[in-house]
Every structure is written in structure tokens, then in C-alpha cells.
Structure 1
Amino acid sequence: MSTQHTGTRNGAGAPPRPATETRPAAPRFVESVSLIAGREITMRLRSKAFLISTGILMLAVLASVVLGSLLGGQSEATKVAVVGSAASAVEGNAELEGVPVDDRAAGEQLLRDGEVDAVVAPAASDPLGVVVIGLDEPPNGVARALAVTPSVELLEPAAVDPTLAYLVAFGFGIVFFMSAITFGSTISQSVVEEKQTRVVEILLSTVSARALLTGKVIGNSVLAFGQILAIAVLALLGLMLTGQRVLLGGLGASVIWFVVFFAIGFVMLAALFAASSALVSRAEDVGSVTTPVTMLVMIPYVLIIVFNDNPTVLAIMSYIPFSAPVGMPMRVFLGTTEWWEPFVSLAILLATAAAAVFVGERMYRNSLLKTGARVKLGEALRG
């Protein structure tokens, strides 16, 4: 008796089916980091607020350089009418521009017409042999320019003008503070937003928490570093175009060190901002957990403004990782460092940044999927 085989699932008439279903391979760590970092960069570059704030910051830097050149430049020489032999007292004086006249009456007429600010005429009774004539008030500026002053020597001359040192310290401090706070807040808001909307659960089904954190840190670090580099290039270019080459020579090395220290220091701060933000699930609670990190950024800013002329405080700041990005470049500008000191400080900063990234990654990974109440620090570290 013959049997007839009907088409079954695995029968000859059915199409062949693979033994196992194939799933798309999960992206590797480097690919995941690249995708997340690119997403962070793209989102920021598409933000009008970010572009406008960056443009305003660039204009502020350029304006400060130009105004510094105008305010710090030499003022125009004061015009004075010079009578006869009094020309020898004015000749060679960079502060005065002599206008020769035939006699005292001609000089006084120019003074009344507003052509000159004073008249310098011979005077036999004066010890200097000249008299300075003003219109309605004593021409003290002209008198000071003609005054004979003794030579002055300093036992310990300052290498840098104190006012200039303060301005440079303020510049380093405000740039570091504003960039760290701006991009640190961006990272914090991004972490909490993804956690609050449960988007992070979808992301973690594809990439690891380590890749997610690394991508966020790298993406925002690239933007912050690019902004700082643009500020440095714009400032140096402005100094060159405005003819402030003396200042450029002393500021160039310190700006380069500032960029290097900032790049590493920001990675450290970015990891801490992301890790602390993962402890909460609501945007309203971000400030409470990121306050310690914010204080670590604010303290160097305050110290560099208050103690920019204190070598002891600056020396201590240059070796503390959270203040080294400001303290060490400032000491390089002042010329108070040995050649090896920036490298030692940089090594300390690198080690601290590595430790911060390690601890931050552990806190971030252990807290990311915990919603509701704030995650305690000990719990985030233990897992």
C-alpha cells in the first residue's frame, strides 16, 4: 500500500528555512561611541542658542583685544607753541609736539584759537629757562612732561604689569568657568532628559552604558575644546593685527598650555557632571546633585581673580587638578615656573581625570536605569 506525502512545514515542497534566525550584530564599542558623539555634536550645532552664544563670545573676545589695543596704546602728543630757544626743552620729548612761532604773542594767539594746548617760552628767571603758559587753567600735563625727574631703580622689578596680569587672570578664569558650566549643564540636561523620558532604556538595548557615557563626554568635549581653540586663535590673531606683539610674545605660550590643560580638565569635569546627573530622574533635581561639581569649577575662578598676584596661592593652584587649567597657564604667563612644572602638573591632571572617568562610569552605569527617588551616592558606587 502506497502512501502519499502531503506538503508539511519541513516537507520537500516547502521552501528551505535556515536552522537559526540571524539578528543584526550589535555595534562595536568604538562605533557606538562615534555614533553617540556625533549625535551630541550635531544636536548642539543645530541649536540656535548655542550658535548665538558662541558668536557673542567670539565677538566679546575680539572686542576686548581691540579695546585693549586702543586703551593701552600711546596717546597723541600734546601740541604746544614753542618760542625761540625754548624749542630745545621740547625737542625729543615724545609727549609734546612743538609748533614753532616767531614770538610769545604769536604763541598766545594760537593758544586762544585752540590750535595748541600751551605755550613754552624762554624765561631767564626760571631755573629750567622756560615758562609754560596756559589759557584758563594750569597746563599740568605739559609741565609734567617738561619736568626733570631722577632715575628710578627697582631691586625686585615685576616681570609683568600688575594690571595686565589681572586682565590675563580674569580672562583665563572666565573662559574656563563659562565653558565648563555651559557644556557641563548641557551634559546634565541630556542625561536627565533621556532618563526621564525612558529613552535611555532603548539606547541601552543597543549600546552599553560605558559607550553611552563615553560618547556624551567625547562629543561635548570636542565642542568645548573647539570653542576654546577658536577663542585662543582669535585672541592671538587679534593681538597680531592690532600690533600688540610684545604682549603676544608673553601670552602665546600660556594660551597653548591653557588649551592643553582645559582639554584634559574638561573630560574630567564632563564625566563628573554626567555621573552626578544620573543620580536623579527629574530635571528639577539636577542642580542639587551637580552643585559640588559646579563649586569645583567656581572656586578656581574666584581664587585666580582674588589671588592673581600671590605666588604662593598660584603655585598651589597649579598642582590641584581642578584649578590647574587656570593656575598653571597663569604662572607660565608670569614667568614664575620651571620648565618641568607644567609637565608634572599635567601628569597629575591626567591621573585624576582617569580616576574621575572610572568612578563616573561606575556611578553612571549603576544609576541610569533607577528611576523615582534620588539614588544615593554609596548605592551608585556599590552597584
Structure 2
Amino acid sequence: MSKVDQRAQRASNEWRTPGFGHGAGLVAGREVSTKLRSKAFLITTGLLMLAVLASVILSSVLSGTASGPTKVAVVGAASSVVTEPSGLEAVPADDLAAAEQLLRDEEVDAIVAPTDAVEGAGLTAASPGSPDASAAGLDVTVIGFDQAPGSVASALSIQPATAILEPAAADPLLAYFVAFGFGIVFFFAALTFGGTIAASVVEEKQTRIVEILLSTVSARQLLTGKVLGNSVLAFGQIIAIAALAILGLAVTGQRILLGGLGPSVLWFVAFFIVGFIMLAALFAATAATVSRSEDVGGVTTPVTMLVMIPYFLIIFFNDNPTVLTIMSYVPFSAPVGMPVRVFLEQAEWWEPILSLVILAATAALAVLVGERVYRNSLLRTGARVPFLQALRG
């Protein structure tokens, strides 16, 4: 064989047997490019983004809707900082005790009082005021009942300190919407991209394309590429949703909510990354056991239920600390349960870390089992391959 023929043969062999990373990257790139060319995917993503933006704007509009000026009880010299252009209506109170009674009776929305009177009553400021305000002799504190009176504080001509009479862990309605948001995003993304992986696996088996693919890449490379490609798309969608929600909250002035959501959103992204890889491997493995697209729904039902159960649990039991604690340590519900507990400040600092370690270990086991089932079932056509038989090989 001539040197030219030897080089051609060597190049041909290198092309047919790419390295693991290169082969998985080729498959992942194919998955991403195919999905990005899909009009259905682009339209669905656009509608989801619009829904997120609309919900942020709607929450801002509803929170800003009022039938008239906000009533605040003013004590002593603090009345000088409550002016008509601020949109606040001053209700004079003889002393701080009288003002507190007005607030408890819901006759006013907040109290504006001199800071020395507030400190004398034993109330601790939830947030400090502006140093310039103190220097100007206008040292006042705005007091809310169970939530920081951010809208009243921002309406004043100075930046006062804020305090709370009876602190609440979180607004129940806000907690519900946060739990619902985490639940629906995880549910939607996992089912959408998990279903895409399952459909792709069966389509390749049904059309015999998988036999051509396996002549170039291994089954492990093919599975890894599918999981990575769809994971990139899912992560990109989640990050885009988070960025849009944060931008919307900042533009609409909901900075208090933005500050409270920050840590829980970061934990949600971390848990979602690991949890989705686990579910993607299971979707691909179960789909590989059948050869017809009509059978995909039946074999992927158990995995679909693992996604649906946390969604319904978080909807109906978001105010139950016991259920949330259990959910935060069960791998299939931890991506929703633990971020909600972080938002509600029910979790110790070490709990999200421990839960994430448990989820990562479970994901690694799921990937190993899924890869074995996928590899042993991929070239079997005809009747459904029993799961245990595929696992034994």
C-alpha cells in the first residue's frame, strides 16, 4: 500500500472513530441545531418568555393599585416629612402607642415616627436609614405591621429606617406564587426537553438511522451528546427566564422582592442542572426499550410521574413545612422543594448543600443505569425490551 493510501486509510479510521469528547460534541451540536431550527420550539419559548414578563408586570400593577392616597399614622415631628406630593395621607397620632393601635386596626398602612421614640419602645430597625437624613435632623422610622413598608419609605422625601411590629416569615400569597413559579418552570422544562430526547431516540431506532450513527460513534457517546445538547437548551431557557424576571423586577421597582428571590433562584438553577441531567438519562433509557413512536408515552410514564408529583405537591403543600422538608431531600423533588425553603428562610445554611450532594449522587447512579439500558436496547427492534433484561444485557 502506498503512502498516499496509508494516509487516506488513517484519515478514514480517525473519522469513523472520533474521541469520546469529539463524538459526544458532534451529537450535542446536532441536537442543538435541530431544535433551534424548529419553529415550534422557538414559538413555545417566546410564549413562555412573554408569560414570565407579563406576570412580573401584572404583579407590579396590582401592587401599585390603590383606591386613594396611602394612610400613615404620624407621631410628633415626623409629620414634617409626610407631604402631599408624596401620595401619603397623614393621620395624626398622640403617641407611638396610639399609632400602633391604628396600624393593628388596619386604619393606616404604616407609621412614621421619630427614631428615638421607636428605639425607646424597643423596636429594632429592619433596615437603616440614610445618614444624610439624620444629619438634617429628620431622623424618622417607618413601621409596618408584618412586612417592611417599602412603598411608604420610598414615597418620603428622605430615606428613613424601617421597622416591623410583628415580623412574618413571608407573605403567604407571595410564597404561593414563588412556589408555583419554581414548580411550573421545572415541570415545563423537564417534560419538554425530556420528551424531545425520548422522541429522538425512538425516531432514530424506527428509521434505522441509529445503525449508521453507531458506525461512527459509540452508544455512550450518542447518549452523552443527546443529554448534553438538550441540557444546554434547557439551561439556556432557564437562565433566559431568570434574567428576564430579574430585569422585569428591577425595571418595575420591585427591588424588595428581587432581593428576597436572589438566593433561592441561584439554588434553583444549581438544582435544576443536576436534576435535569438525571431525568434526561432516564427519558433516553426508557425510550430506547421500544421501537415505535406510539409506545413512547407508555414507557416514559414512570419518569413523567417523577416530574409531575413534585409539581402537584408544591402547589398543594407549599405552606406545609413538614412536606417541604421531605421534598427538599427526595432527589426528584429537591429541585423545587429546597429553593422554596430557602426563599421562606426555613433551611439552615448546610441543608441546600447536603441536598445537592444527595441529588448529584442519585443523578450519577441514574446516568450509569440509564447508559446501560440504552446501550443494551438501542439495536433491538420489534417488541418492547423488558427493563430488567435490558439492564442485564
* Unaligned segments of structure 1, at least 5 residues: 1-9, 80-87, 99-142
User: Is residue 292 of structure 1 aligned with residue 302 of structure 2?
Assistant: yes
In structure 1, the partner of 2:22 is 31
Equivalent-residue separation in structure 1 for 2:192 and 2:320 (angstroms): 29
How far 1:146 sits from its partner (Å)? 7.8
Residue 336 (structure 2) pairs with residue 326 (structure 1): yes
RMSD between aligned alpha carbons?
3.1
Matched, 1:358 2:349: no
Residue in structure 2 matched with residue 163 of structure 1 by the alignment: 173
Q: Is the 8 A contact 1:187 1:273 kept in 2?
A: yes
Give the TM-score of the pair, scaled to structure 2. 0.75
Q: Which amino acid aligns with 1:221?
A: S
CA 17–209 in structure 1, closer or farther in 2 if over 3 Å, else same: closer
What is the distance in 2 between the residues matched to 1:95 and 1:310?
38
**Equivalent position of 1:281 in the other structure:** 291
Question: Secondary structure of the equivalent of 2:312?
Answer: helix
SS at match of 2:13: coil
Larger Rg computed on CA atoms: 1
- CA distance in 2: counterparts of 1:368 and 1:230, whole angstroms: 34
Q: Deviations over 1:327-347 (max 9, x none)?
A: 000000000111111100000
- Alignment counterpart, residue 56 of structure 1, candidates 44, 47, 53: 47
Distance, in Å, in 2 between the alignment partners of 1:222 and 1:254 is 21
Residue 304 of structure 1 deviates from its aligned partner by: 0.4
Q: Quick check: 2:69–2:88 contact (8 Å CA) kept in 1? A: yes
Is it true that 1:379 corresponds to 2:389 in the alignment?
yes
Specify the code of the residue in structure 2 equivalent to 1:258: F
Measure, in 1, the Cα distance between the counterparts of 2:211 and 2:199: 17
Q: Does 1:225 align with 2:214?
A: no
Kindly report which structure 2 residues correspond to 1:4-153, keeping only aligned pairs within 5 A, or say none.
Answer: 22=9, 23-25=12-14, 26-75=17-66, 77=68, 145=107
Return the offset for 1:77. Answer: 2.1
Q: Which moved more, 1:54-63 or 1:18-27?
A: 18-27
1:237 deviation in Å?
1.0
Letter matched to residue 354 of structure 1:
A
Q: What is the Cα deviation at residue 264 of structure 1?
A: 0.7
Contact 1:296–1:322 under 8 Å retained in 2: yes
Are residues 34 and 21 of structure 1, via their aligned partners in 2, closer, same or farther at CA, if it must alter by over 3 Å? closer
Which whole-Å CA distance do the structure 2 matches of 1:189 and 1:299 have between them?
22
1:223-277 deviation digits (Å, cap 9, x = unpaired): 0011001111111111111111110111011011101100110000000000000
What are structure 2's unaligned runs of at least 5 residues? 71-78, 91-104, 112-143, 147-163
Q: Tell me how far apart the structure 1 counterparts of residues 106 and 51 of structure 2 sit (CA, whole Å).
A: 37
Which residue matches 1:177? 187
**Identical counterparts, % of pairs:** 68
Aligned to 2:152: none
* Equivalent-residue separation in structure 1 for 2:225 and 2:199 (angstroms): 15
Pick aligned residue for 1:208 from 213, 218, 222: 218
Distance 2:6 2:262 in 1: 66
**SS of equivalent to 1:325:** helix
Matched length? 317
- 2-structure distance, mates of 1:338, 1:152: 26
TM-score normalized with structure 1 length: 0.77
Q: Distance in 2 between matches of 1:334 and 1:182?
A: 28
Per the alignment, in what secondary structure is the counterpart of residue 24 of structure 1? helix
Q: Which has the larger share of helix?
A: 2
Query: 1:162 corresponds to which letter in structure 2?
Result: P
Equivalent in the alignment of 1:106: none
Q: Deviations over 1:81-112 (max 9, x none)?
A: xxxxxxx9xx98998769xxxxxxxxxxxxxx
Q: Which amino acid aligns with 2:39?
A: K
1:259 aligns with 2:248: no
Q: What is the letter of the counterpart of residue 13 of structure 2?
A: P
Structure 1 position 315 matched with structure 2 position 306: no
Letter in 2 for 1:58: M
Against the structure 1 CA distance between its residues 152 and 29, is the aligned structure 2 distance closer, same or farther, given a 3 Å change threshold? closer
Counterpart Cα distance in 2 of 1:16 and 1:329: 62
Conservation of the 8 A alpha-carbon contact between 2:24 and 2:225 = yes
Contact 1:195-1:369 at 8 Å conserved across structures: yes
Take 2:65 and 2:8, find their aligned partners in 1: how far apart are those partners?
A: 80
**Would you say the 8 A contact 2:331–2:362 is kept in 1?**
yes
Structure-1 separation of matches of 2:201 and 2:234: 18
**Aligned equivalents of 2:304, 2:351: Cα separation in 1:** 27
Task: State whether residues 145 and 167 of structure 2, in contact with CA within 8 Å, keep that contact through their aligned partners in structure 1.
Answer: no
- 1:241 is aligned, of 243, 246, 251, to 251
Are the structure 2 counterparts of residues 16 and 378 from structure 1 closer, same or farther at C-alpha, using a change threshold of 3 Å?
closer
Quick one: which amino acid aligns to residue 24 of structure 1? N
Query: CA, structure 1 residues 245+182, in 2 after alignment: closer, same or farther (shift >3 Å)?
Result: same
Name the CA shift for 1:19/1:183 in 2 (closer, same or farther; >3 Å): closer
Is this contact kept in 2: 1:169–1:330, CA < 8 A? Answer: yes
